[in-house]
Each structure stands twice: as structure tokens, then as C-alpha cells.
Structure 1
């Protein structure tokens, strides 16, 4: 089910507007965001990645035009666009490299293609970094200047904000928190890039599924999960079993919290953030859900015992607030940053 973000009436918006474009393998989210970080218009179109980046840019431009027309606004109301895509990428040249979920876009000069199609200057960003900036600008990190976002899903992504600025790094790889090593054994499980022992390899969806399968095989514990085939043994199934009182399933959820905390301890000691925000599709129900809140409490507890005592009451840890809107809001926010110099 698609949830449309809450929209600010255009007569209450602070101009100029910024366009946020968040590209995924299936859909492209397009939003118009005002100067305070509030969306005033939103639409979503199919990526149709097999048709290539240029065709997609043209369809995005057409959609933006329609959105402005419905608001009764001229194109010059939009100062700049932000474009967020999966990596890897070359931020300096505006080129995508070989993102796994966009094979039809490999090596496309996407920044220039979207700028030409929309007639706007374009700021280019990694999608996870854009989501981090969105949460910082108008989400869970809006009250701080130093924040880390960790997103849990198929993989583990994230972004880092230092003194109000997105950490990009010398090669565009800043904030790749999922590739922090938490297990140095030579036979540690590999992640999506075949790197062993990383946070993603243990806490990404496939890592959680692999740990559940291993527990079923090695412990022989009675569990409703043993009735599921490999395709059905998903984090959602594990969460549902845990909620129903399955002890092995609950142990997998709590172990995920502990493993995440091991990675977070290293991030906290490196970055010293005021806030750590946890988002993505795999938060076991997230904010307000009993299992999600128990998961977060365990992450907090396991992190606390691994960091400096002086930081334990200073680093706040919460769920993300913007959900799937964080990418396009953050992309718009990064465009705003570049527009303001």
C-alpha cells in the first residue's frame, strides 16, 4: 500500500521550492518541498529501468510539470532539484556506475540527463545519504547537528551528518555503515559485496535469514520456523513468530539487536553523534509496536555497555520518522544546501 506524505498547503509554504527525486529499482518518488522541509506535492512513477535513464528523466520532468500546474505555479518557483539513486556512483562527474537494481542505467550520466530534462540544476546523492539528510532536516534528527542514520533492509545502509553537513568522503563512500567489520574471522559470512564479517552480512535481511536457518540446523530447538522453506523464512516471518511467543525467533531478533549494537559502538566512538536513528523496512514493527520497541530497547542496552560511560546518557537512539519519504525530502534538502552555497 502506498502512503502519501502529509502535504503542506501551498499558500502556507515558504518559497523557493526544491524538487526531490528518489530513484528505486521499481519506482521513482518525486516531491516538491518548501524551504523549511515540508512537502507540498508528491507523485510516484514506475522506474521502467529497462528503458534507460534518459527516458526516466523525461518522464520525471513531465511529472514535475504536471505537479506545478496543479499547484498553479510557474516552473521558476523551483530553484533546484536533488537526485538520489542507489550506488555505486561517481558523484564528481554525476555518473552512475553499476547499481544492481538498475541494470538499464549502468554508466549513465544521470545528473546531466535529469538537469537537461527538467531545466534545473541538479544535486546528485546516494539514496541512503539523502535519506539521512531528510531525517536530519525534518525528521528524527531535526533537533541535532550530529546524527547517524542506519537503515535495515535487504542490506544495511546509512548516512552521517557532522556539524549539519552530510559526510560524503573523498570518494563518495562516506556513511557506508553497513560495511563496518564486526567479525574478523576468515569464515565470517559475506555481504552483498562479498566482504566478510560486516554489519550488513549479519544484520541485513539475508544475514538474519541465514542466522535463523543456522540456528534451526544446529540447535534442534522446537520452533514454528522449522515449518517454513527457505523462501518463506523472511524477517517478517521471524518477527511474526517472535510475536507469537516462539523463543528461537525472539532470540534471532534480540541477537540482531546485539550485532547491530556492536557496529553502532564503533560508529559512535568514531563520529560522536548526538543522535542515532534507525530506519528501513526491517525494524520489527518499529515505533509504537511492542516487538519494535523491545528491539530498540535491546539495541540501546547492548550499545550502552560498549561505549564510553560519559556518552551513555548523551547519545539518543530512536526510530526514523519519515519512512519512505526520507529519500525525496533529503534529496530536496541537499539541493537546497547547494543552492544556498
Structure 2
């Protein structure tokens, strides 16, 4: 067993086999031992032994019985124990920061969205420390079981690990070891990921990924990016920049389908909003300028989605990021997946789906980073 000493609590980290069990239970919102045996390469005796160890350590808990549909005793249901560990998730955006406190079962315990005139390090860490203090005052049980912090940021990874090249509004975070900055500020282990990749991890564990092992997440915010989930694992690429779907569009040939261009469109049609955050807080899908933006977004999004379908052949393409769900629902019917319609049975195409993670996709995915890296990485 691996052990890690945190500021206030010693966690016994799971073995690879225990990770597989924890991942299965989390992804299926509870499971019985026979189902775990069937889903993994582990024997019944091994599963029983490891489950008992996880029960003893408080990582899983019993949660009633599951009817087996046949004669005989119902099976005992196992669930992730929410209070075993907690993690923070931080989304660094061009005009705001979101902070999430998440429990071990992937449930949002507390959340703050903070509009930020300037995204400098002093400003971010000052507000972040206030948020963390507020969270722990409201939820004192998390104090001694706060495991780590995950950070999601827009931009390209430079070293495959923690150095990013973000938009101009995030200049203070460019080309520095972001994980170390957060560890120094909060005294917690930190992991950082591109916002699209972070959101894809959250979707894989807590949303669409519970039904689809292979999908591409389209992250639409001030820019457009994404993340690729292959066999329930994030496909990061050699340099950590897998899923940069916005780069599929030839430069200067299309208006990018982003929330920046949506903001400009609704402003041009008389809606008085000063920022993306303000627009999203008041958003109405019937605003003038919304349908015009969707009309312009149709071709670039169709090109991106068709390229994804042709290159990766996923089960699903998920629209998310900071995109309001009601807007995603209006966009999806407009997207065309190009196909040659050969004979009477065309090739299978991916489903187009609205993201199922709630509250804040990037912050939720960021909060899952510490838990995924150390507890749920062996996906099954």
C-alpha cells in the first residue's frame, strides 16, 4: 500500500486493484461484489478481501441491498463513502474564478463563482483563501480530510505537466509551475490540467461517461477546446494538448463559436451585459442575437464534430464547458455530421449530447483531478 502524509490526515492510498474497485463503484453509483467480479479481472476471493479492506478504512460503505431479480437473497450494495476524502477544484477563467469543494463520492459540497476584474496571482489567491476558509467553516468535517486541489486553466500545455500558455487575461499564470504555486499557497498537493481536459475527466466519472466509455468533450467558453476520453481514460497526447479541437478550424475563415462571439452578438442586438459571467448569470435562450450566433456557429461546429467523428469514431460528442444547457440543446439539432450515405446502411455516427455535469464543468473536473489521480485512476 502507498501512503501519503497530508497536513492533517494520513491516507492509505489504494493499490491498482483497489482503484479498479473504487472506480467501478463510483462510475455505477454503487455496486455489488458479483458485479465488480464480472467487470474486472479479479477473482471473487480477491474482490471480497479488498472490499473488506476498503470498508475497514472507510473508503466504501454498505448501502442496503440490491434485488437480484431471482429467487434468493438480495446482494449487498457498496457505495463510495462521501466523507472519506475531500478535494478542491479551481477553474481559472479570463474574467472569473470558480471554486468547488467536492466529497469522495463526487458530490459538490460547496461552490463559489467569483467575478474577477484582474486574474493576477495575488488577487486569485486572496479570494481563493477566503473561499476555502468559508468552505471549511461551513463543513468542518472536511478540514482533516482535505486531500488536494485541482486546477483547470485555459491554454496550451508547454511541458506535459504544469506549465501553460494561457490567454492574455491570464498572463500572470503563463509559463510557471502552476501546481507548485497552489501547493505553496494552500499547503496541499496540487494537480493542473487544461480546462477542456479537466471537464472531460469530470464528465467521464460523473456524467455521460457513466454510459459511454469513448467520447469527445467540446469545451465552449471564452475560447473553444475539449478533451478526448478513450476507454474511460483521458487521451492527453504527447505534450498534454490532446483535444484542442478549436485548432481544427482554419484561422480567419470562420467566426469562432465561443462565448466571446456570443457576447458580441447579443450586445449588437441590444442586450446590455458587460462580461461573459454577467451574460451567463442572466442568460435567456430567446434573447435577440442568440439565434443569429447559432446560425453562424452551425458550419464551424459541424466541421469540428464531423472531423471528430471521422478521426476518432467515438460513441458520443458532448457539448459543455460554460455553455448553458438550454443553449446546448438549441445547438445540437443544427450540427450536421458529414456522411456519404453510402447504400442503405450508413456508417454509425456518434450521438450529440448535452453535458450532464452540473454547477461548473471545469471546476468539477478540476476537483476530480486529485481524486482521479490517487484513487480512481484505474478505470474499468
Which blocks of at least 5 consecutive residues in structure 1 are unaligned?
1-11, 184-194, 213-224, 244-248
- Give the equivalent residue in structure 2 for 1:150: 218
Contact 1:61 1:118 in 2 (8 A): yes
Which residue among 303, 318, 321 is the counterpart of 2:353?
A: 318
Report deviation, 1:130: 1.3
Which blocks of at least 5 consecutive residues in structure 2 are unaligned?
1-80
Post-superposition Cα deviations, 1:87-111, rounded to whole Å, max 9, x if no partner, equal 1343545234353222333434321
- Give the equivalent residue in structure 2 for 1:20: 89
Matched position secondary structure for 2:101: strand
Which protein has the bigger strand share? 2
Counterparts of 1:317 and 1:209, CA distance in 2:
24
Contact 1:30 1:328 in 2 (8 A): yes
- Give the equivalent residue in structure 2 for 1:267: 308
Counterparts of 1:87 and 1:143, CA distance in 2:
29
Contact 2:157 2:241 in 1 (8 A): no
Contact 2:224 2:257 in 1 (8 A): yes
Which residue among 132, 136, 155 is the counterpart of 2:200?
A: 132
Post-superposition Cα deviations, 1:108-158, rounded to whole Å, max 9, x if no partner, equal 432111111211111111112212222222123332111111133443222
Asked if residue 277 in structure 1 is aligned to residue 318 in structure 2, the reply is: yes
Q: How many residues are treated as equivalent by the alignment?
A: 286
- Give the equivalent residue in structure 2 for 1:44: 113
Which residue among 310, 314, 338 is the counterpart of 2:373?
A: 338
Range 260-269 or range 148-157, more displaced: 148-157
Contact 1:20 1:30 in 2 (8 A): yes
- Give the equivalent residue in structure 2 for 1:7: none
Q: Relative to 1, partners in 2 of residues 1:259 and 1:284: Cα closer, same or farther, differing over 3 Å?
A: farther
Counterparts of 1:68 and 1:282, CA distance in 2:
29
TM-score relative to the length of structure 2? 0.63
Matched position secondary structure for 2:168: coil
Counterparts of 2:326 and 2:109, CA distance in 1:
28
Question: 1:277-316 counterparts in 2 under 5 A?
Answer: 277-280=318-321, 285-286=326-327, 292-293=329-330, 295-299=331-335, 302-303=336-337, 305=339, 309-312=346-349, 315-316=350-351
Post-superposition Cα deviations, 1:214-247, rounded to whole Å, max 9, x if no partner, equal xxxxxxxxxxx9x959x99x9989964488xxxx
Report deviation, 1:66: 3.0
- Give the equivalent residue in structure 1 for 2:15: none
Counterparts of 2:296 and 2:106, CA distance in 1:
36
Q: Relative to 1, partners in 2 of residues 1:71 and 1:92: Cα closer, same or farther, differing over 3 Å?
A: same
Report deviation, 1:338: 1.3
Post-superposition Cα deviations, 1:273-297, rounded to whole Å, max 9, x if no partner, equal 111111245679436xxxx44x322
Over alpha carbons, which structure has the higher Rg? 2
- Give the equivalent residue in structure 1 for 2:257: 203
TM-score relative to the length of structure 1? 0.70
Counterparts of 1:19 and 1:131, CA distance in 2:
14
Contact 2:285 2:327 in 1 (8 A): no
Q: Relative to 1, partners in 2 of residues 1:66 and 1:306: Cα closer, same or farther, differing over 3 Å?
A: farther
Counterparts of 1:320 and 1:241, CA distance in 2:
25
Matched position secondary structure for 1:73: helix
- Give the equivalent residue in structure 2 for 1:219: none
Q: RMSD between aligned alpha carbons? A: 3.7
Contact 1:132 1:159 in 2 (8 A): yes
